[in-house]
A and B are shown apart, each in its own frame.
Chain A
């Protein structure tokens, strides 16, 4: 049984193994019917922050694997709202569950949980830090669409300071050999110094840019993120940058070979006219979420398919 909390600790071999498991799940249609792989297991889905796609796809993944999904949504659903500590809540999950899927508003919450409990912990998003299962979905989508991850040029666009999906995607890329990676954001939303140092140490070849149009012709994959309004300490700062870095249909209409990723939800950073083009890969990401999360849950539970 293994934790899945930090994408830097999930190496390339494991990622490729998860891709193979996901392929197998799709080829055998395991993601659209119930299986008995984790029969009798109680999997706790504790979502202390709002979530739609991640929670739904985890719930479906757990049920398709044959386990019971015990979902806790919001702090008011457990005794945290009565003053119980997070530590005690985790101890309770440890006793009652066989595996914990955790989303929490604090950075590092999943790592702390993994230290506290004996059951495996899967990070379903911790504050602005990481969202490692989304990174596997994103890379799997690139791999299925373009047949490779190595050797491609990437632009990661938008909120690189607060978007955990962008952080995890970039850190996941460090396990591969992308050609060039362009980090495109307004100055206020540049990656933190800590993330830049981490990417540099891990050998990623990247360039910082403030102009999306300047890099668009050089990339194969554009990863667009939402401006994270809820994580801005100052609402005025949010007002200054919202709506910037919008990817429009005109910007990609002549590019037949490009794909556009977005972890969703989107606000106005992604032109809806892109939805019906070949470039749109973001609904593939949603489609891939269940088989990939089935793979992660099975891997974390120590089960081979």
Chain B
């Protein structure tokens, strides 16, 4: 191992989520509902140097877990710079960046308590459209309430 390589164990089958903005690894784990009690081997590195991000980043490696589309979409909201590596038999089989979707359904909870999507017994799936890339901002399709990037973790409904 060269000096520049990160001293975090390799995984054989699973997912590596790289280039997570520094300090957001715990948000990503929350999205994936990983508490440590599931039995997966989970490696977390926080505040490590990233050449790509020109600063610090977080990394998560999870043995035996592959992400659903909904989980990937939710990760894109809290970690828009993340890359997802799918590892099979110790090899990187697929590497992809995440892109915050134009339309997000059922992932964010509208902050407006009197939005129609918040009526509990109606079970209406929330819908948000992206109105800005930087800062990432979404707008509720029903009532127009906006959620800015810094507030997105607060309104994740996973």
Contact = CB atoms under 8 A, between A and B. Distances in A.
Contacts of A104: 116
Contact of A107 (B116, B124, B131, B146): B116
Given A127-B114, A194-B139, A195-B144, 19 more contacts: A86-B119, A87-B122, A87-B124, A104-B116, A105-B114, A107-B114, A107-B116, A107-B144, A108-B116, A108-B117, A108-B140, A108-B144, A111-B142, A112-B116, A126-B116, A127-B143, A129-B143, A193-B146, A197-B137
Contact of B131 (A85, A128, A201): A201
A107 B142 contact: yes
Contacts of B114: 105-107, 127-128
Interface string A127-145: 1110000000000000000
B142 A194 contact: no
Nearest to A127: B114
Chain B interface bracket (under 10, 10 to 19, 20 to 34, 35 or more)? 20 to 34
B93 interface: no
Contacts of A105: 114
B146 A197 contact: yes
Contacts of B115: 106-108
Given A105-B114, A128-B114, A111 B119 contact: no
A213 interface: no
B145 interface: yes
Contacts of B37: none
B141 interface: yes
Instruction: Give the dominant DSSP class at B's interface.
Output: mixed
Contacts of A197: 137, 146
A189 interface: no
Interface string B111-143: 010111111011010000001000001011111
A86 B116 CA distance: 10
A166 to B, nearest CB: 14
Interface in B89-126: 112, 114-119, 121-122, 124
A108 B140 CA distance: 9
A119 interface: no
For the complex of A and B, 8 pairs with smallest distance between CB atoms: A108-B142, A107-B143, A108-B143, A108-B116, A106-B116, A194-B146, A112-B116, A109-B116
A228 B24 CA distance: 40
15 contacts: A85-B121, A106-B116, A107-B112, A107-B114, A107-B115, A107-B116, A108-B116, A108-B140, A108-B141, A127-B114, A127-B143, A129-B143, A129-B144, A194-B145, A198-B144
A22 B146 CA distance: 35
Nearest to A112: B116
Given A86-B119, A106-B119, A107-B115, A112 B146 contact: no
Contacts of A106: 114-116, 118-119
A295 B122 CA distance: 33
Contact of A194 (B122, B124, B141, B144): B144
Given A106-B115, A107-B112, A127-B114, A86 B122 contact: yes
A111 B131 CA distance: 18
B16 to A, nearest CB: 36
Nearest to A107: B143
Contacts of B140: 108
A105 B131 CA distance: 26
B25 to A, nearest CB: 29
A106 B112 CA distance: 10
A193 B142 CA distance: 16
A112 B144 contact: no
B88 to A, nearest CB: 41
Contact of A112 (B139, B142, B145): B142
